Structure 1
């Protein structure tokens, strides 16, 4: 008969090893969300990648995380969270190798999708594994370290990507996962105990499938809209598929006794506000970094390392502010902290939006600092506020919904902002579509090398102006998302905690059991 695991069962001197195993996996999967940004121009040259291909290299990873997080979490309740985490680590590590040796754009995108599947299995189980491994004060310490690790991953991504790409090659941003992944698997097998829901809940395969189709179809349509147009049969057909799949997801979740997401939670304004703020956070703060990197490297001529350092005010301040003020922010109203944080992010984007042909990389620094400050204010409160706004038994579901919102916001944000970026460049250059696509995908140097020497300087000036205008418009849209997101949070988040007289809906409680 199974019995609950307790921290006392951990051998003396090794009680923090499960935390190390979980944090290593968390660090790897979150670093890979942003580590590719500064490597995109080199990928474009090496693989002759198109603009939409570059979008998918980043987008498909975030999309797999968003689409599968809730479903994989449900699966892990039944088959075991430790087992799911180990499988996720193995898939992630093997897929990282496939990314590193990818011979073409399509192979890299496919490998990134598989890598995202592994990351979803890891991310969906980390909170439950820590919950099962620690109790009391130790649990609070463990979650604090885990949160700091997540913040450090965001800070390290662009810098690590720049160092590896500039010092070795873009392929090493994936190869570095191999020794880390293998070490984490060996450690987790030794020190992490199994936990699962002893009631073996029914897995909502239909709901998970419908949500995956809806998210994938929506993102695909948004990535392709610049090539196809909003009114083309292809765009409208894919958007219709997304709408039908989303409708099916709603119907399924209303009827199934154990849904991936209890839609009744959306009637709680504080919960809905936190999910929407997670979407807006990723879209406004991080989605535009893909296009900033293209401007910095292929137009201004910065190296990958230098481009990574330009984002240091964002990532560094986000980490420092979250770590220094996190414990104090919980005393304040999340309505104003999260809403104000999103407004700061939006303001940071708007400060950077006024780019022109003569702008330098330093023009981005004040805006990056404002965004980092906003991210640092929001991160400590986002998940905890969502969990506090629902019955205790549904706290895990609330956390999963917020994390899903983060990744979906990044995937959709990259797709929408990419369309804005590419369209604006095309309007400014007023040349063949191939020229605009080549510039948007980081091929400026190749285009200039192929141009007649007499008109090269004029073309260079035109490209400088076009890409600066494209990035400025992209940042303007991102800024509006941040400001509007902040306003929504202020309007919705008035009552962060569930009323005591509300009957909690049944949900899966994380329970640790021995193997």
Structure 2
């Protein structure tokens, strides 16, 4: 765990170890709640006598709430205080989890999951933002790596924990466990997180700072429309998807117009000209799109292309999350030692090699080739995430940590939902059919090659953005800090 020699490095923190533990538990909970509900969908369909598309809203409501509100809650944390909002978000998450466990009908369960998603949005946005207030700057990478590890553990633990709980106790137990862990995280945050800091003392709660309600509504509707456009239709992009995508484009235009007119915007448009933040957001979208391809394409290739049983397919798919959990902290320490900018490029280079390996090795060596490629790709992703988050958050203005952290998390979520639709559609096109049950193993293998060849190209684009962004950075100031966004931070 990360230690601090100088207690003055972290203002008013009673225990850095305790603070990191509470942040890690919050991050684990938000990712666990994303994956744990998926395994319950067949059981919920039977329990409520509902169709599978109907019970899918148990997952979709959570994801929509997180995606639509994560930037807004980050900004709200900058205004009212991140500690207060994070504790409130954990309390809301816990209460919504309990409501989900007790829900007598499917609509009430879906509503509870949406509220749970709001609490998770607070947790995702503010855990990263709090790193700057809990660890010294030179250990930021290690903290980011730790949070990445906890996210990977939550994602990997969800299906197995959910399966055990459903089989032994019932589906309500998965939400009761979330409620209990949420209460534990809330108590730990209240005990260990810093009492004050930039925001609470003198930050964005200045006389002219107000919460941008119009911008919040426009951004939430825009992001919800985009997420729905990418996730409805179950792989078929029809008229409804086109209408939702058009609404998202219109909403984005209205949002940008509104942000340019208000005195205290939700997102300062100047942030998009920041030489570190803008490239980082673009790379995050591309990388998350690529990583989603492994979750979308991998199961079909292993089961249909290689003929593995369900049990073996699940075992092979678990390699990625396990490797991710093991290398997250190591990746963070490497970032601290060698520097964030260089490790962004190194992580992307590993990812590109992993994508090429996924396009080539499984066809030559079967399961062994697939596993070897994942072992290359996953550490590259963890290294990129730790370095990218560190590069963005290390020097960000204290009054903007929440909103910038929210934008980082949003870019990742947008990449995931885009990858679900775009990479899934590309795979189906390359295979030649949407019905994988009738696809020939050779066609599925061909789809795998095409998909990850394109994925490698997307990562190369991210490398170009990283290199160009590094060249465009302004010179460092006399105190060694980077001049960013027209100000010295």
What is the TM-score when the length of structure 1 is the normalising length? 0.73
Query: Structure 1 residue aligned with 2:464, among 486, 490, 515?
Result: 490
Cα offsets for 1:123-172 (capped at 9, x unmatched): 2222444444x464xx6558734631431331342244224404644734
Which secondary structure does the structure 1 equivalent of 2:454 belong to? helix
Question: Is 1:347 aligned to 2:353, yes or no?
Answer: no
Which whole-Å CA distance do the structure 2 matches of 1:345 and 1:56 have between them? 33
Residue 204 of structure 1: CA displacement?
1.9
Query: Structure 2 residue aligned with 1:220, among 201, 209, 228?
Result: 228
Distance 1:321 1:310, change over 3 A: same
Distance 1:349 1:94, change over 3 A: farther
Which secondary structure does the structure 1 equivalent of 2:227 belong to? helix
Residue 192 of structure 1: CA displacement?
3.3
Which whole-Å CA distance do the structure 2 matches of 1:119 and 1:36 have between them? 14
CA contact (8 A) 1:25 1:184 kept: yes
Match of residue 366 from structure 1: 372
Which whole-Å CA distance do the structure 2 matches of 1:283 and 1:125 have between them? 23
Query: Structure 1 residue aligned with 2:215, among 207, 211, 232?
Result: 207
Which secondary structure does the structure 2 equivalent of 1:286 belong to? helix
CA contact (8 A) 2:148 2:385 kept: no
CA contact (8 A) 1:74 1:260 kept: yes
CA contact (8 A) 1:63 1:411 kept: no
Residue 56 of structure 1: CA displacement?
4.9
Map 1:146-185 to 2 at 5 A. Answer: 147-166=145-164, 168-169=166-167, 171=171, 172-185=173-186
Which whole-Å CA distance do the structure 1 matches of 2:57 and 2:442 have between them? 22
Quick check: 66-75 or 46-55, which moved more?
Answer: 46-55
CA contact (8 A) 2:344 2:387 kept: no
CA contact (8 A) 2:148 2:386 kept: no
CA contact (8 A) 1:387 1:394 kept: no
Match of residue 188 from structure 1: 189
Quick check: 381-390 or 213-222, which moved more?
Answer: 381-390
Distance 1:473 1:270, change over 3 A: farther
Which whole-Å CA distance do the structure 2 matches of 1:379 and 1:411 have between them? 18
Cα offsets for 1:364-399 (capped at 9, x unmatched): 423432331321221221112234687787565444
CA contact (8 A) 1:154 1:315 kept: yes
Which secondary structure does the structure 2 equivalent of 1:202 belong to? coil
Question: Is 1:238 aligned to 2:212, yes or no?
Answer: no
CA contact (8 A) 1:311 1:368 kept: no
Residue 421 of structure 1: CA displacement?
6.7
Which secondary structure does the structure 2 equivalent of 1:176 belong to? helix
CA contact (8 A) 1:85 1:122 kept: yes
Map 1:376-395 to 2 at 5 A. Answer: 376-387=382-393
Match of residue 123 from structure 1: 124
CA contact (8 A) 2:144 2:389 kept: no
Which whole-Å CA distance do the structure 1 matches of 2:190 and 2:430 have between them? 51
Which whole-Å CA distance do the structure 1 matches of 2:361 and 2:53 have between them? 24
Cα offsets for 1:454-509 (capped at 9, x unmatched): xxxxxxxxx263799679747844652453233233245334344448674579x9
CA contact (8 A) 2:142 2:329 kept: no
Match of residue 480 from structure 2: none
Which secondary structure does the structure 2 equivalent of 1:333 belong to? helix
Cα offsets for 1:410-460 (capped at 9, x unmatched): 12322444556778899365xxxxxxxxxx8xxxxxxxxxxxxxxxxxxxx
CA contact (8 A) 1:270 1:492 kept: no
Match of residue 433 from structure 1: none
Residue 23 of structure 1: CA displacement?
2.1
Task: Give the aligned length.
Answer: 460
CA contact (8 A) 2:285 2:411 kept: yes
Distance 1:388 1:167, change over 3 A: closer
Match of residue 274 from structure 1: 280
Match of residue 26 from structure 2: 25
Map 1:38-77 to 2 at 5 A. Answer: 52=53, 56-77=57-78
Match of residue 312 from structure 1: 318
Structure 1 spans left out of the alignment, 5+ residues: 430-439, 441-462, 510-515
Which secondary structure does the structure 2 equivalent of 1:427 belong to? coil
What is the TM-score when the length of structure 2 is the normalising length? 0.77
Residue 218 of structure 1: CA displacement?
1.5
Which secondary structure does the structure 1 equivalent of 2:210 belong to? coil
Which secondary structure does the structure 2 equivalent of 1:179 belong to? helix
